[in-house]
Amino acid sequence: MCDSPNLHCNEQHRIMEEQTKEQSDPESSPFMHCQFMIQEKLAGGGGGGGEDELELQGLLSREERAHSEPLFCSYRDRLPEDPALDQARREAIKWTHRVCRRYAFSCITEVLSVDYFDRLHANIQVAEMKPWMVQLVATACLSLAAKVNEIHFPTLSALQVEGPNYVFEPKTVQRMELLVLSTLEWRMNPITPFSFLNHIIGRLHFRTSSQMDQFSTLFELSLLSLISDSRFLHHRPSVIAAAMTCRSMEKMRYEGSQIGCYRDALRDTLKWSEAGGMFEECYELVGELQCKGAYVNCP
């Protein structure tokens, strides 16, 4: 692959063009931090009625296509049978989390980085991923996620902190960035649990901004605590979002009857008719992590 700096500049320019298109609709973009969406709800903003339903249907359709993609299904099924790859993934995500905390990156940046990491591994055919290859991929994915979602981000040299086992020259990381972009076909706006947060908040009817802030924090902590567990790759982002919502409301000491009502509303909203069993399994997994104290501090 060409090492030309001009080529890399052109590729970065294309990232910005893609980002502008994806963020033209702030309600549908998963890159908007949940605090923004919460403030919008408090101000009475956001599309409603038919527009809201059409947007949600679009998200669910995209989710269905991504979740049933054959290469991704093969990858998530392979992880439990390949302990070395699963452990390498966990270590890469731990490093990503440390760097995100170091630079105060948003939770969405971290989630995007992990999504890019998983989708790349699902699409490449390598007999054995060497440790240095895993670190290089993790570095490139985090760099791309920061460029997509953060206003300010460090240089490629400064990004490689918090104890990476391998440190790469910027040109090497740039080449991997281009490989990630081409392999993912520039689809850098994936469906994540954050994609459904605006629709969930609109149905929870919080009375105060402090309640929304508390829910937002718990939601983010939940997501960061479970992205390193490959079992969650079997669950759709909408189901994960719903399970985290119910567990977060338990943490907020809502009564069981209230949570049950909200759960029914989420089931109708997110079309659980064929995914009820998966919700129960996901709900139990989130609770398992809570009992183990697996929560991490949100950057």
Tell me the Cα Rg of the chain: 19
Instruction: Spell out the domain ranges in the chain.
Output: 66-190, 193-291
* 40-60 pLDDT per residue, tens: 443 344 445 678 888 888 999
* 110-161 pLDDT per residue, tens: 999 999 999 999 998 776 778 999 999 999 999 999 999 999 999 999 999 9
Say if CB 95 and CB 163 are below 8 A apart.
yes
Position 272 scores a pLDDT of 63
pLDDT class of 212 with cuts at 50, 70, 90: confident
Among residues 103, 116, 111, 199, the alpha carbon closest in space to that of 159 is found at 103
* 3-42 pLDDT per residue, tens: 444 434 444 444 444 444 444 444 444 334 444 444 444 3
Q: What is the DSSP string of the chain?
A: ----HHHHHHHHHHHHHHHHHHTSSTTT-TTS-HHHHHHHHHTT-S--HHHHHHHHHHHHHHHHHHHT-HHHHHHHHHGGG-HHHHHHHHHHHHHHHHHHHHTT--HHHHHHHHHHHHHHHHH---S---HHHHHHHHHHHHHHHHHHH-SS---HHHHS-S--S----HHHHHHHHHHHHHHTTT------GGGGHHHHHTTT--SSHHHHHHHHHHHHHHHHHHTT-GGGGGS-HHHHHHHHHHHHHHHTT--HHHHHHHHHHHHHHTT-TTTHHHHHHHHHHHHHHHHTT------
Q: Alpha-carbon distance 141 to 181, whole Å?
A: 9
Q: Which residues of 94-111 are buried (b: 16+ CB within 10 A; e: fewer)?
A: ebbbebbeebebbbbbbb
pLDDT at 280 > cutoff 70: yes
- State which CATH number among 3.40.1190.20, 1.10.472.10, 1.10.580.10, 3.40.50.450 fits the domain covering 66-190: 1.10.472.10
Residues in contact with 189: Cβ distance below 8 Å, sequence separation at least 6, in sequence order:
18, 22, 29, 30, 31
Burial class (CB in 10 A: 0-12, 13-18, 19+), 49: exposed
Q: Report the percent of the chain where pLDDT is more than 90.
A: 48
Q: Which residues of 208-247 are buried (b: 16+ CB within 10 A; e: fewer)?
A: eeeebeebbbbbbbbbbbbbbbbebbbbbbbbbbbbbbbb
Position 145 scores a pLDDT of 97
Write out the two tokens for 197: 């947060």
pLDDT at 84 > cutoff 80: yes
Position 42 scores a pLDDT of 37
